[in-house]
Amino acid sequence: MKLKNYQEDVVLRAIDIALEDQPELVSDPAFVNDVAAYVLNRVPPRYVMSERGFLRLTVEQLEEGNGNQSLANIIELMILVNRGIEIVRSRRPSSASVASSGSDAPGPEEPNEFVHNYPQFIGRVVDDV
């Protein structure tokens, strides 16, 4: 199995959610990668090698904080993603000026894809026995 930073999948999913209303940006892999790099450089890495490692990571996160803390982490992540989108957008030339200059930036060689298929749950599970 590959060594995988679980945060990459979480951040890419958060970017997809934040860009749902902006399909022109979602279709630009270089833009998405720049935003992901911005966010990933500001969150702690969480490396896993297998589904077992993922389960340990999940249990560790559940033991570290209560539901309010995990909600705060999700909100902080979405704030970082939106800040990254604004910063990357402000630092890129507008599409009109790129089209007029005739130069196209090369895209990444491989598309964004998830390495492991880990479920991502947001919220709390309540068992009323």
Residue 95: name the closest of 22, 3, 42 by CA.
22
pTM comes to: 0.64
Contact between residue 120 and residue 53 where contact means Cβ atoms under 8 Å apart: no
Residues 59 and 62: their CA atoms lie apart, in Å, by: 5
Each domain of the chain, given as residue ranges in start order, spans 4-91
pLDDT one-digit tens code per residue, 73-88: 888 999 999 999 999 9
Residues 105 and 13: their CA atoms lie apart, in Å, by: 24
Helix axes 29-40, 67-91, angle to 10 degrees: 130
pLDDT one-digit tens code per residue, 28-42: 889 999 999 999 999
Residue 38: name the closest of 111, 116, 90, 2 by CA.
90
Whole-number percent of the chain with pLDDT over 70 = 66
